[in-house]
Structure 1
């Protein structure tokens, strides 16, 4: 293994040769990872499925991860592979789907990937983009793009090449996809946040976006003419806010038109005009926007991190679904437009247990505060709508010794899929302390999940 000291001893030519060797090793590792994913699918083929067991509610089923022509795979297989690779179940599912498509539907690309001539990421992109195509159409795309997939053209051009090949593989299907895409319109906030900011994504036909852009530009220009000194981008955001209240937006447009079109102030009359009637002077106040009236009522769940006694410095808070922000941002940006309700911190240790399968709302709140993320190894969901699993399964009619089964310390939030994996796929979990979960996969590997994330626990030789 090359150490930092050894790197410092290298000359430029030697260092660059080492960099090339590392890049080659990375490609070899990527190829081996794809092979592992394909073989894991083979080991978890439909032949291992118990037909009688599969007929029961919640049990494992066989699914087609890849496109047409790829074999079906047992649906719980990505959970154990993802845990071993240190990635989420979803990421492992995507890897297996891509690997199956590459191996079964894109042989030319796969050959170049195995020869280390094409990066695995390029082949996986083509696999994702062609997944909904038939096998023959995928083969057409494979033939069209495998030569250029070695990086000889910039990524944007490669994307365009793939898109063109997909359309050319079946023009009628391309037209049908266009018609279908027209029905998949959306307008929703983005998931990503940055420094208290968030985006809003609109997917709509071209003419709708053109009209939206035109009205936003028009309102931003009106604000400029009314004396707004903000940048054009900031005024466009204000224009979007105006559009959230159509009545006020229409009123502003009307008043602006009246103000803009009023007669010019007449010039002072000279001696020859003393007997003439003066023109009607401009009248009316310049329109103003009541921004506070435009702000809707929004409920935000805000968590303020603990602060040392006597520390009066900046603090950081976390807004659920938005990310971390400073208290300065809260006061200066959110504060003028929002009302805050301060709730006391829940006493997590004082949550009285109950002997009922139904989980009390106070317990759900406590669990979300203590364990906001999916407790399955490398789980990524932080939704408040996750299922709350009993770590030790609830037993109806349990003896008195089992009373209080529903309690903090026997809960773990999980997605529905991971809940099914835990119940039916041979995984075992223990919660020795509230919020600390020890998982063992069906092959014996052990994982620790807590508030800091997931770690693989090395087993004694």
Structure 2
């Protein structure tokens, strides 16, 4: 539409419309590249290689690039394709493997790529994550990921979704992988140094890292309370140094307890009461398709066996029933009750702005219809809340974005230029712009309602 106009001649609305066109063209090209990769594999079938020659040292062999069920390919084909696409031979081989997996093992996802509804990057990620699955297991993931793969959820949340489906498709293999991973624990300094600085890498079970993170932050907060004016990251580094010296750590905690108590005496320190408790939220699933897959907030999907093995010996569990979201009674105050916050987090665990990434429990809870201090009852209620990051909250309040929540958990957003998005439990979708009325429709409108042409 704007090929004859330069970018600096466009209005902002025209520039955004042009971005839509370029994005669609990009998807067409990416889908065509996948077709080319697959057809390259077809043209380089095993029949193109003399088996007697292939047995000679260093000669081209027949290999399987994709998952089980995809055809073998003459291995040198990837080099020529990679050179034409200006990528490495290894990248071209990965491209061919992804294309074959999508067309043969993930057909529902591939149909959506061809329809330009799913980005190639999303589809290729699923292909890679399912490569070691059986065809039936890959089909399980394909059926459940094809719809949300259209970009309605941002990348980090999509990664978690696919990881959970891979675990659910083969819980036994996932448990074996978790057990093998548990044997690869590491706590050592990194090799690289830069300007006198060096890192320390820890790879450990989630509860160990969560405990360490909580202790470090608590000591950093103690340092601030005792007068340390450094920034939080500098204080966290100091906290690590404190914890590395047990005698110093005890002295510091006693000093803090004395200051906090105000008694002027050095009390005995009850470590269990002074040190912070670490809470991990673990979600299990029930319903028509119960699985042994659970989600640990801040970590991702794991098997039930992982919870029993790694959390069981170290944690006390508090089991809470499913919260009755619909039964949350509204309140008249601006302040939001804790029970409402819990209900909102369970219903909408992510930032409700289009393609919001954050899933923290510490979002700002916005009133979708702004709170009015005029005595109107029931303004603070489930159905008038929207958790957001501070930036998106400011954008909604001051950035000319509009939002409506017709039913709890479904948000319709409109940007300053008229584009409309719907955000719900499945993610974000862009709503198509309405077609302008035809001349006949305009004539009917004038006749019925006296509207201007």
The two structures have a TM-score, normalised by structure 1, of 0.47
Structure with the greater alpha carbon radius of gyration: 1
